[in-house]
Amino acid sequence: MVRTVVALGTDVYFDTAYYWQWSQRLDWGYYDHPPLIAWLLALLGIHATALLCGAGTIAAVWGLARDVYQSREAAWRASALWSVVPGGMVAGIWATPDSPLLLFWTLALWALWRERWLWAGMASGLALLAKFPAVLLGIAFLITALRSRRLPWGAWGTGVIAAVFLVPVLLWNARHDWVGILFQLKHGLDGQGGWRTLGDFVVGQFAFGGPVLAILALVYAVRGPREHFFLRMAALVPLLFFGYAASRARSEVNWTTMAYLSVCVGVAGMSRLWQRAAAFSGLAVVLGVSIHLFFPLMSVKRDTTLWRTHGWDVLSVLATPEKLFPEMKPGSVVAVFSGNYQLASLVALHAGVPVGTAGPVRFSQYDVWPEPPIPPGKDVLWVEEDGPFAPSALTDRFETMEEPVELVGMYKGRRLHPFRVWWVRNAKPPPTPPEAPDGMNQSHR
């Protein structure tokens, strides 16, 4: 119920809008991630994708815990714990690649636990189609196999099936200079890291995993039951890997969310005191943030939570920009550009107009796609929020640019998004290529 209320009562998250743009151009791969999130958004829509993946993940946790403990009561405890993990809540409300990753990671974990090799291969393949870090589950399984000195023949088939799912994605990357894989490696491991970024990672685990569950994750991973070794590795491997990545570059708090899936199963077998502490602390975070989204009582200079979830729908006015610029003729604007791929995606979602990015911005899928066509004499808009002015690489292609108009996104009287919109007018004809020398134009006889 809480997930549905938050999903329907807030604006579409900017990353979700970016992936929605992918769903308008289905392919086997994209710059940032594999294609599963785009396929699901095209099939189910924005809200259904997140809510169904979230509900499916809770059900899969229930099934896994029931088989681990042979107890329906333990299964309900594990699924209840997962339902209040903040990171799981986010993935179950706003559609991102984490939404299908968590579902198929859990299904793969469950199938591997039961040694259902065919189902494990299919679930693992779908997890890899969601996000490349799904490979960490395979590493956890191999560590378990090495420890037990047992690798059933069926497990080889699981690996082959999962690899088959990934082949089209690898072929797409090969045709595009491996942009997706190289981006993941650079984004996760190549940057200005150190003790500060590692500290941010640790603090983020308490926020996204839950204040108590983040501590119990390490306890379970290191000192959990021996018969749970595979589940423990499925938690420890992502935590260690992304912890190391955080020491190399700035990380995102959501990267480790899949680690807490098996942690919830493990905590379901601990004392009731720890179970209640983990559940109520996670619930307190979830309810506190959810209430603030609709009834904000605190007032801070920049409320990031409200900024991310409200006020974006004002961008719908860009579908009729003549309302902002009285001298503009309807139909003269053919595209909207921004210096931010997330903002460009929100413009596309709310205004339904062609968009693009320009300037010294982070490389994105917009750089892989061709730019929207701009016929001579037509206009575009440039929109930004605390961002760069329109770059000369764009404005030099037009005759003039009008002074900006302010467009403000509000929520409950709070000024969240101070957008500025420029009217960039009258596209110049493309430069004529130089003529070849006379001798080059004559046919040789």
Per-residue model confidence as pLDDT tens for the chain (445 residues):
788 999 999 999 999 999 999 999 999 999 989 999 999 999 999 999 999 999 999 999 999 999 999 999 999 999 999 999 999 999 999 999 999 999 999 999 999 999 999 999 999 999 999 999 999 999 999 999 999 999 999 999 999 999 999 999 999 999 998 988 888 887 767 667 788 889 988 999 998 899 999 999 999 999 999 999 999 999 999 999 999 988 888 888 899 999 999 999 999 999 999 999 999 999 999 999 999 999 987 777 778 899 999 999 999 999 999 999 999 999 999 999 999 999 999 999 999 999 999 988 888 999 999 999 999 999 999 999 987 788 888 999 999 999 999 999 999 889 999 999 999 999 999 877 766 665 555 444 4
Would you say 128 and 168 are in contact if contact means Cβ atoms under 8 Å apart? Answer: no
The predicted structure's pLDDT at residue 437: 62
Backbone angles phi, psi at 58, to 5 degrees: -60, -45
Give the tokens for residue 241. 């890997």
- The pLDDT of residue 439 is 52
Output the pLDDT for position 438. 59
The β-bridge partners of 424 are 380, 401
Beta-sheet strands, E only, within 156-244: none
Residue type, position 42, single letter: A
Identify the pLDDT of residue 251: 82
Q: Which long-range contacts (CB under 8 A, 24 or more apart) does 209-212 make?
A: 209/85, 209/86, 209/87, 209/256, 209/257, 209/259, 209/260, 209/263, 210/84, 210/85, 210/86, 210/260, 210/278, 210/281, 210/282, 210/285, 211/281, 211/282, 211/285, 212/274, 212/277, 212/278, 212/281, 212/282
pLDDT given at position 78:
97
**pLDDT, position 180:** 85
